[in-house]
Chains A and B, each alone.
Chain A
Amino acid sequence: MSSLPRDALTGAAIAAPPDGAAVLPRARGRRLAAALPYLQSLPLWLVMGVFLLIPILTIVAVSFWDDQEYALVPTFILDNYREVLTSRVTWTTYLSTLRYAAIVWAATLAIGFTVAYFLSFHVRSALWQMVLFQLCAIPFLTSNVIRMISWIPFLGRNGILNRTLMALGVTDHPLEFLLFSPFAVVLAFVHLYTLFMVVPIFNTMMRIERSLIEAARDAGAGPVAVLRHIVVPLSLPGIAIGTIFVVTLVMGDFVTVQMMSGGQSASVGLMMKNQISLLQYPVAAAQAVVLLATVLLMVWAILRVVDIRREL
């Protein structure tokens, strides 16, 4: 007790230098404290910068370059964009890709919503919920390409499905539309991407309070009305997230379209891939920038309609 004031006294004697000297270290400390959050987020910034920002900026830069013979000439010309935007091929390809996106979106939404609804509202035990959920997820541990290729022996002209149909007498000749057709492309997309709908919708549905369903029933809502007025509106954020996943994946795809259509169908990604293989890097870059802008616009439109912040 008696040593305290003396300590305070000596402390005061030491810490009484000219004004400027006292202020300086304290200000530096404050500046450091203010910079600390930025320092802490530095690793994330580095990763984002190296793997996202710099590549995109490079693509944007290259989209203004010129290519002559086999050389890239750094300059600033708008020819690449002119070529991309005035070509009929670009527009028809975008139309076809958008059509794929729309069909696949509708199909994955229908299946994804139904599966998520069944899992979250009708499977009562948490154990079964997990088992069934894993059943949906495990196939996704294999590569996209493998899952796609496995359709070929099934859907082919002499594939399992055609032979079965013919053996059953449903048809007397092999169905040609099954493989290397828009149908096959859509089928593969739906197969590949439905899980991206199931997971976010399932997540939002699991967060719907069960008492809300009872309250709706108490107010006289039947099963359809509960779905329409409670479950669907409250699942919208999950539907929006799933939609963003599916739409961006389909918009940027090239391998599925190429493999499943047998080269008969076009997509924006495929168009870019062809330009790259012809070493037309600037045009491909311009194409990529246009695609990125289109997809961002679509995502922005989705976010305008549905508020997903609650889910993040």
Chain B
Amino acid sequence: MADGVELVAVTKRYGATIAVDAIDLRIPAGSYCCLIGPSGCGKTSTLRMIAGHEAVSAGDVLIGGRNVTDLPPARRGTAMMFQSYALFPHLNCLDNVGFSLRMRGVARAERRARAAEMLGRVHLTELAERRPAQLSGGQQQRVALARALITNPSVLLLDEPLSALDPFLRGRMREELKRLQRELGITFVHVTHAQDEALALSDLVVVMERGRILQSDGPRAVFERPRTPFVARFLGGHNILEGRALDGRAIALADGSAIRLEETLPAGRGTVQIAVRSDRMRLAPDDAAPNRLAGQVTAVEYHGSFVRVALHDRAGADHSLLLSETDYYARPVALGEQVVAGFRPSDVHVLNT
């Protein structure tokens, strides 16, 4: 059974410093939500307040419409998967997974049966008698997952669950997490600092900085229409340009070239920052892409399926162009070459500052 999570003006203060600053957030039941931001942005504190491992300084935490602000962790219907997994080193996998059943006074036989079934679910049946120290990182993670899921929580909280794994395993576990979430239909709240992880997994991406939520949206919306320059920079894949508003539909860059937009500029704005996705900029511009950005090539990186060209523009800012392999080799560029990149007005997104 899935429950939604709602935060109402939730604040966390450590002495004089404010870690989480009166945030409001509604996570729909059964969705996969990623809290993302740089370290110290308050994402982990937020997760721990939902879990009940951190006292809320002000505001309310609601789970399934029930105010759980003052309830202990085990009575919230949540389960947490810890960053370093926090498996009990003195217990074998089966007893680790069955631990919360033991705390609830479930009889030994039933406890072991249910724990064994849960271990089967994460494909670890044959390792039931092993201690955590005898498992690989990926196996430990799956034991932690099984331990968290055994009480049938309505919300699963994951604190950087993939950060300790190597890139290959990370990809596999990411898939597995998503599959589990879909199968169980419960709400997942996942803290991460990796944007690819957030975009690949979530239904709802919540970008945080300095204790505040900057944007919470679906992954596509966040990526296509980042609200602020910070969000655009943090998610990556965007080039940010600054200019002066000419009229409602155009801005002038520092070097004087005009950029046309399709979005309407808000009235009364002098300087404007815009974001253009790096994969939407092209070298060898044509008339379909009337916007121009001139600069010098400072690096060319071959990535296999695409080529990254780094551009240093006349205003002194650095940009990236992601070109398809075919496009790049149709017109290769040399280091230090002066080039002009082009992009369409529809690819320009105006940022709030």
A binds B: yes
* CB-CB nearest in chain A for B150: A219
Contact between B84 and A217 (Cβ–Cβ < 8 Å)? no
Cβ proximity bits B87-113 to A, threshold 8 Å, 1 near / 0 not: 111100000000110111000000000
How many A-B contacts if CB must be within 8 Å?
58
Partner of B51, one of A209, A216, A218, A220: A218
| Neighbour of B53 across the interface among A212, A218, A225, A234, CB < 8 A | A218
Would you call A212 and B88 a contact (CB within 8 A)?
yes
Q: Is the CB of B79 within 8 A of A218?
A: yes
Q: Is A233 an interface residue (CB 8 A)?
A: yes
Residue B56 is within 8 A (CB to CB) of chain A in the complex: no
Question: What chain A residues lie within 8 Å of B79 (beta carbons)?
Answer: 218
Q: Hey, which chain A residues are within 8 Å of B53, CB to CB?
A: 214, 217-218
B83's nearest neighbour on chain A, judged by CB, is A211
**Residue A215 interfacial (CB < 8 Å):** yes
Q: In the complex, what distance in Å separates the CA atom of A219 from the CA atom of B82?
A: 12
- How many whole Å from A305's CB to the nearest CB in chain B? 14
A212 to B96, CA, bound (A): 11
Cβ–Cβ contact B84 & A234, under 8 A: no
> In angstroms, how far is the closest chain B Cβ from the Cβ of A227?
13
Contacts of B83 in A (CB 8 A): 211
Contact yes or no, B103 A215, CB < 8 A: no
User: Is A291 engaged at the interface, CB distance under 8 Å to the other chain?
Assistant: no
Is B300 an interface residue when CB atoms closer than 8 A count as contact? no
Residue of B nearest to A233 (CB): B90
In A178-221, the 8 Å CB interface with B consists of: 209, 211-212, 214-221
Answer whether residue B351 sits at the interface, using C-beta atoms and an 8 A cutoff: no
Residue from A218, A221, A229 within 8 A of B80 (CB atoms) = A218
Q: Is A219 touching B86 in the complex (CB atoms < 8 A)?
A: no
Q: Does A271 belong to the interface (CB within 8 Å)?
A: no
Q: How far is the CB of A214 from chain B (nearest CB, A)?
A: 5
Task: Verify if A230 is at the interface (C-beta below 8 Å from B).
Answer: yes
- Contact call B73/A217, Cβ cutoff below 8 A: yes
Q: Is B55 an interface residue (CB 8 A)?
A: no
Separation of A302 and B92 alpha carbons in the complex (Å) = 23
Q: Nearest residue in B to A211 (C-beta to C-beta)?
A: B86
CA distance A130 to B99 in the complex (A): 34
Q: Which residues of A contact B80 (CB under 8 A)?
A: 214-215, 218
Q: How far is the CA of A229 from the CA of B88 in the complex (A)?
A: 10
Give min CB distance, A197 to chain B, whole Å: 21
Pair A220/B104 contact, Cβ less than 8 Å: yes
CB distance from A212 to the nearest CB of B (A): 5
- Which single member of A211, A219, A221, A233 contacts B147 (CB below 8 Å)? A219
- A219 and B74 in contact (CB under 8 A), knowing A225-B103, A234-B89, A234-B90? yes
Q: Which residues of A contact B51 (CB under 8 A)?
A: 218
With a cutoff of 8 Å between Cβ atoms, the chain B residues found around residue A221 in the complex are 74, 99, 103
* B3 smallest CB distance to A (angstroms): 17
B68 to chain A, nearest CB (A): 14
B74, closest chain A residue (CB): A220
Residues of B near A220 (CB, < 8 A) are 73-74, 100, 103-104, 151
Type the 1/0 row for A206-250, where 1 means its CB is closer than 8 Å to any CB of B: 000101101111111100010001100110000000000000000
Q: How far is the CB of B71 from chain A (nearest CB, A)?
A: 12
Answer whether residue B72 sits at the interface, using C-beta atoms and an 8 A cutoff: yes
> Which residues on A sit within 8 Å (CB–CB) of B100?
218-220
A214 neighbours in B (Cβ, 8 Å): 53, 73, 80, 82, 86
User: What is the chain A residue whose CB lies nearest that of B53?
Assistant: A214
How far is A218 from B54 in the complex, measured between Cα atoms in Å? 12
- Contact residues in B for A215 (Cβ distance below 8 Å): 80, 82, 86-88, 147
Bound-complex Cα distance A211 to B51 (A): 13
Q: Which of A215, A225, A229 has the most CB of B within 10 A?
A: A215
List of A residues within 8 angstroms of B73 by Cβ: 214, 217-218, 220
Closest to A214 in B: B53
A209-B104 CB under 8 A given contacts A217-B72, A219-B74, A234-B89: no
A-B contact pairs, 26 of them (CB 8 A): A209-B84, A212-B88, A214-B82, A215-B82, A215-B86, A215-B88, A216-B88, A216-B99, A216-B103, A217-B72, A218-B51, A218-B53, A218-B79, A218-B80, A218-B148, A219-B103, A219-B151, A220-B73, A220-B74, A220-B104, A220-B151, A221-B74, A225-B103, A229-B102, A234-B89, A234-B90
Give B contacts to A, CB under 8 Å: 51, 53, 72-74, 79-80, 82-84, 86-90, 99-100, 102-104, 147-148, 151
Query: Nearest 6 A-B pairs (CB), nearest first?
Result: A219-B100, A220-B74, A215-B86, A211-B86, A220-B103, A218-B73
Apart from A214-B80, A219-B151, list 6 A-B contacts with CB within 8 A. A211-B83, A215-B80, A216-B88, A216-B103, A233-B90, A234-B89
